[in-house]
Protein backbone atom coordinates (compact mmCIF):
# COMPACT_ATOMS: atom_id res chain seq x y z
CA UNK A 1 0.00 0.00 0.00
CA UNK A 2 2.96 2.32 0.56
CA UNK A 3 3.95 1.96 -3.12
CA UNK A 4 0.43 2.89 -4.25
CA UNK A 5 0.44 6.06 -2.15
CA UNK A 6 3.91 7.01 -3.34
CA UNK A 7 2.99 6.29 -6.98
CA UNK A 8 -0.19 8.36 -6.65
CA UNK A 9 1.78 11.17 -5.04
CA UNK A 10 4.35 11.15 -7.86
CA UNK A 11 1.56 11.05 -10.44
CA UNK A 12 -0.14 14.05 -8.80
CA UNK A 13 3.12 16.04 -8.73
CA UNK A 14 3.87 15.23 -12.37
CA UNK A 15 0.34 16.25 -13.34
CA UNK A 16 0.72 19.49 -11.39
CA UNK A 17 4.08 20.31 -13.01
CA UNK A 18 2.74 19.57 -16.50
CA UNK A 19 -0.29 21.77 -15.82
CA UNK A 20 1.89 24.65 -14.61
CA UNK A 21 4.22 24.36 -17.63
CA UNK A 22 1.24 24.27 -20.00
CA UNK A 23 -0.29 27.32 -18.30
CA UNK A 24 2.96 29.29 -18.53
CA UNK A 25 3.44 28.30 -22.19
CA UNK A 26 -0.15 29.26 -23.04
CA UNK A 27 0.25 32.62 -21.27
CA UNK A 28 3.47 33.40 -23.16
CA UNK A 29 1.85 32.42 -26.47
CA UNK A 30 -1.20 34.58 -25.71
CA UNK A 31 0.93 37.61 -24.82
CA UNK A 32 2.96 37.27 -28.02
CA UNK A 33 -0.04 36.91 -30.30
CA UNK A 34 -2.24 39.49 -28.59
CA UNK A 35 0.13 42.31 -29.53
CA UNK A 36 0.83 41.24 -33.13
CA UNK A 37 -1.72 43.65 -34.62
CA UNK A 38 -0.41 46.52 -32.51
CA UNK A 39 3.17 45.76 -33.52
CA UNK A 40 2.15 45.62 -37.18
CA UNK A 41 0.44 49.00 -36.86
CA UNK A 42 3.51 50.52 -35.22
CA UNK A 43 5.77 49.02 -37.92
CA UNK A 44 3.60 50.60 -40.62
CA UNK A 45 3.82 53.98 -38.91
CA UNK A 46 7.59 53.69 -38.58
CA UNK A 47 7.87 52.90 -42.30
CA UNK A 48 5.77 55.96 -43.17
CA UNK A 49 7.93 58.15 -40.94
CA UNK A 50 11.07 56.75 -42.57
CA UNK A 51 9.67 57.60 -46.01
CA UNK A 52 8.90 61.13 -44.84
CA UNK A 53 12.42 61.51 -43.44
CA UNK A 54 13.86 60.39 -46.77
CA UNK A 55 11.73 63.00 -48.60
CA UNK A 56 12.85 65.70 -46.16
CA UNK A 57 16.49 64.76 -46.76
CA UNK A 58 15.99 64.96 -50.51
CA UNK A 59 14.28 68.35 -50.16
CA UNK A 60 17.06 69.61 -47.89
CA UNK A 61 19.69 68.55 -50.42
CA UNK A 62 17.82 70.40 -53.16
CA UNK A 63 17.48 73.50 -50.97
CA UNK A 64 21.20 73.43 -50.22
CA UNK A 65 21.98 73.17 -53.94
CA UNK A 66 19.77 76.18 -54.68
CA UNK A 67 21.37 78.18 -51.87
CA UNK A 68 24.80 77.28 -53.23
CA UNK A 69 23.82 78.50 -56.69
CA UNK A 70 22.42 81.73 -55.26
CA UNK A 71 25.60 82.33 -53.27
CA UNK A 72 27.63 81.70 -56.42
CA UNK A 73 25.56 84.26 -58.33
CA UNK A 74 25.83 86.80 -55.53
CA UNK A 75 29.60 86.38 -55.25
CA UNK A 76 30.06 86.42 -59.01
Q: How confident is the model at residue 6 (pLDDT cuts 50, 70, 90)?
A: confident
Q: Quote the pLDDT of residue 76.
A: 67
Q: What secondary structure, in 3-state letters, does the chain show?
A: CHHHHHHHHHHHHHHHHHHHHHHHHHHHHHHHHHCHHHHHHHHHHHHHHHHHHHHHHHHHHHHHHHHHHHHHHHHC
Indicate the SS3 state at residue 18.
Answer: helix
| Mean per-residue pLDDT over the chain, rounded | 87
Question: How far apart are alpha carbons 36 and 18 in whole angstroms?
Answer: 27
User: Which 8-state DSSP code applies to residue 1?
Assistant: -
Q: Quote the pLDDT of residue 1.
A: 47
Query: pTM above the 0.85 mark?
Result: no
Amino acid sequence: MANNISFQSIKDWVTFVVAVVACVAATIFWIQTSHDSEISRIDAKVEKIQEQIDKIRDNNNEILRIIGRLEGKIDG
